[in-house]
Structure 1
Amino acid sequence: MRKIKLDKSCRLSNDFFHNVIKIYGQLAGRIKKAMETLFDMPKGYNCWPNVKSFNLVLNLLVSAKVFEVVHEVYLQAPMLGIEIDVCSLNILIKGLCENGDLEAAFNVLDEFPKQRCEPNVRTFSTLMHGLCEKGKVEAAFGLLERMEKEGIDADTITFNILISGLRKQGKVVEGLELLERMKFKGCEPNAGSYQEILYGLLDAEKYVEGKEFMVRMIGEGVDPSFVSYKKLIHGICKERLLRDLDWVLKQMARQGFVPKMGMWVEMVQSVVSVSYSFNHVSVSKIVNCENI
């Protein structure tokens, strides 16, 4: 890079510098060097950066949680000849939401018309995620209504964020209803959609419904996670629903999962406990019959 800077006849493209910035920021973890390269491009290398490289630096700063620098870099866009786009504003919103400053994030939403930009599905999904993290699920659904009014179609990520928000509030039934609404809207659920519902059922200790939903998932070609099986086995043992244990173990084996030692201990203890209770009742009945 030093040699390139000294050789004034050397002309390099934006793509070259984009890759250099990516190497510095993502591979080497040298965020400061990536930022310096961006600002050094016009004078040092006689190449003006494009918005793609600018957004890469913004995203690197947000990923590194250097939130105090993000806005400073954003304000330098005119000096670099950068015209802000939707992606730039979305990255700002993402950084503010991750920093817990929702008010400032919504202020950026107001900046879209001023920058001749229109918010997209990613804009709203990011804000919804920030609201759900704060427990403001109703406000997140308000944004969904706003999206629909503005003709912006919610995608799978949007619905998954809302389903997850409902799960954290213990609203499993509402989550199931949203899953059906999602399908009605023509948005295909993914593994994450089903998994959030399943976790919600198991967290609410609805183990019978959880097992039935797991059967539904598998029937629709979605494999439950190892954690799902662990939670379900715990519930089966706790509620002594041992008739379902064989099915769960066979399904785990089909997916290549092997229960851990703690899970085996819990299962054996539960089976032994039920067996002891059964035998104890049988002996009592025999004794009572002999007394008669």
Structure 2
Amino acid sequence: MVVNETRRRMLRQLNSRYIYGKYPLLHAIVFIIQLTMVTVLVRKFNGYYANRPVLTTMITNAVLGGIADTVAQTLTALRMRQRQKKLNPDYGKDDFFSIEISELDKKVPWPEDDFMTPASKRGPPPFDFERLTRFMAYGFMMAPVQHKWFGFLEHMLPIGGGKATSNALRRVAFDQLIFAPCGLACFFTFMTVAEGGGKRAVMRKFQDVYLPALKANFMVWPLVQMLNFRIIPIQFQIPFVSTIGIAWTAYLSMSNASDEPVVTSNDNSP
């Protein structure tokens, strides 16, 4: 109990810290750790892939999915911070949010809690480690499916000879008309269930965000997959998609996060 309380207090304190009054400190720490993991994977990817291709792909997918969600959470925090500054001109002035990290401890003590703070003066939502875990778990579990799918496309529609371009186009068609709709359905279903939602929540998620996400997918991914299938070696195809997909997964993360709090300028309730 004491350990959990200490951990919660430490996370709450880290969530209240900003670098130069702009960038959430905890988000930055998580992002740096993830980049370090990516650096290790990049340096040794070929060796890992040669020995354990599926496991290597699973770990790579998980890390890149985590980066995407961290980016999404950071963008949300920055956006809400800007919104609060517009609603409350005094927000961020002479308080612990606006002081540089190096000067923070000297000027302002740690906040004990913010339950009694008006919503318009609170900071953006804290970093959600459970949400990060869900995204990493989804990337980890989907990697074997992607690995099998890309292997199937490689076997059925080989890139070589005089049919390289035509087979690449066929791969894109197969991928976008079969795998993409199913993949998005799996994504929103997994995330909703992992968040504790039931059948109704899944149906509501599909009604609200599935079709817009699928339309956005058709605007982004055909060209990316054409480049992927035509040029990228098969062992790098999933990492390439996952890397390009950081922005895409960040978009999905923000689309899936339907519980973003709304702040109003007249909200003075605790």
The interval holding the TM-score normalised by the smaller chain is under 0.3
- TM-score in terms of structure 1 length: 0.21
The higher-RCO structure (CA 8 Å, 6+ apart) is 2
- TM-score in terms of structure 2 length: 0.22
**Computing the radius of gyration over CA atoms, which structure comes out larger, 1 or 2?**
1
